[in-house]
Amino acid sequence: MKVVLGMSGGVDSSVAAILLKKQGYEVIGLFMRNWDSSINSDYLGNPNLNDDICPQEKDYNDALEVCKKLDIKLYRCDFIKEYWDYVFTYFLDELKKGRTPNPDIMCNKYIKFDMFMDEAFKLGCDFIATGHYAKTVDGKLLRATDDNKDQTYFLSQVPKEKFKKVLFPIGDLKKDEVRKIASEYDLITASKKDSTGICFIGERNFTNFLKNYLPNQPGDILDVKTKEKVGTHIGLMYYTIGQRKGLNIGGSKDRMFVVGKDVSKNILYISYGDSEYLFTDSCIVSNVNWLGDEKLDKCTAKFRYRQPDVEVNLEWLDDDKVLVKYAKLVKAVTPGQACVFYKDLECLGGGIIEEVRKNGKKLWYL
């Protein structure tokens, strides 16, 4: 059977190719190009952006070398416009609202498991495969063996029917095992650093990068308890709930945390010490993509990647909207982030946190 594998130029997709060939599949590589700094620089009238931070050509060359070594044909596809329209625009719009978006989740939903999938099936494949740390069994999405690398959180918005045609070859492996296999095959990607930063854009100075797309709007930082001004922020989009570094407020030895934002007044709220203002007991989650067989009223949830599971009760408000009540207080639940549901090893899907509550009320400072 024929499999089209998303080749990123990283070690995970490289080892996925090895495993698929060992399993007897005919493997075809497909490299995605989703970001072009030169085009965006021209669009912004700024030719001086640092284009070396996300070297997609280097990634393509690494993918090409791996494919040559493994005797795999490699194709390229271009989703630059689609990535801008469906992922990056969403990212900017959420930041304007004072929220903390997760573009990787939307990239999986709209690009990797939609448009990429369509391109793959044009090549006549039976399945697609990626280097994600996840598993599928009978079309169900399951956590990877490596808890520290499990990526089901980022796959929670992918439509359920897609997983029937998806393979995750490295889902049973730990990261060190993946690197060991790549080294045994003497692949150029064996010791290559994992990609970080915004999906497909890469690791950048976040503040400098965003200045090219959203104008800075400095404003007041207020103590949420006293309402007194304690400093000046450089723009609400640069801060997230629970953040305690980079606030540049002197005069206090107490730890400071971002606890809220008022977009209409351009105010950033902070609190000192291990603040009660950071802890909530429920939230409303919308745009829920449910992957389970039937909707549940009890399960566990993650409100951030790599966060430990929290026991929750679900009160369904609509087909894709739910009130999530936590079994214990949770710190720094953040509007715009994903809430992802689990039952043991199975990922049940997830949605976007719209509103955070405590004692049945929306928090006034969020």
Amino acid at 181: I
Judge whether 67 counts as a catalytic residue: no
Distances (CA, A) of 266 to 21, 33, 87, 96, 355: 55, 36, 25, 11, 19
From the list 199, 283, 299, 339, the catalytic residue is 199
- Residues with Cβ < 8 Å from 81, sequence gap 6 or more? none
**Separation CA 337–CA 287 (nearest Å):** 12
Secondary structure string (H, E, C) spanning 42-97: HHHCCCCCCCCCCCHHHHHHHHHHHHHHCCCEEEEEECHHHHHHHHHHHHHHHHHC
Diameter over CA atoms, the chain: 67
Q: Three-state DSSP class for 155?
A: helix
Give the DSSP H/E element, type plus range, for residue 261.
strand 256-262
Judge whether 199 counts as a catalytic residue: yes
φ, ψ of residue 110 to 5 degrees: the values are -95, -30
Task: Provide the sign of the torsion angle of the four alpha carbons 125, 131, 147, 238, taken in this order.
Answer: negative
φ, ψ of residue 276 to 5 degrees: the values are -65, -20
* Cβ proximity of 29 and 73 under 8 Å: yes
Q: How many CA atoms lie within 13 A of 203 on its CB side?
A: 4
* Cβ proximity of 286 and 320 under 8 Å: yes
Of the candidates 348, 352, 38, 32, the one whose C-alpha atom is nearest the C-alpha of residue 199 is 32
Amino acid at 208: N
From the list 54, 67, 77, 107, the catalytic residue is 107
Active site residues: 107, 199
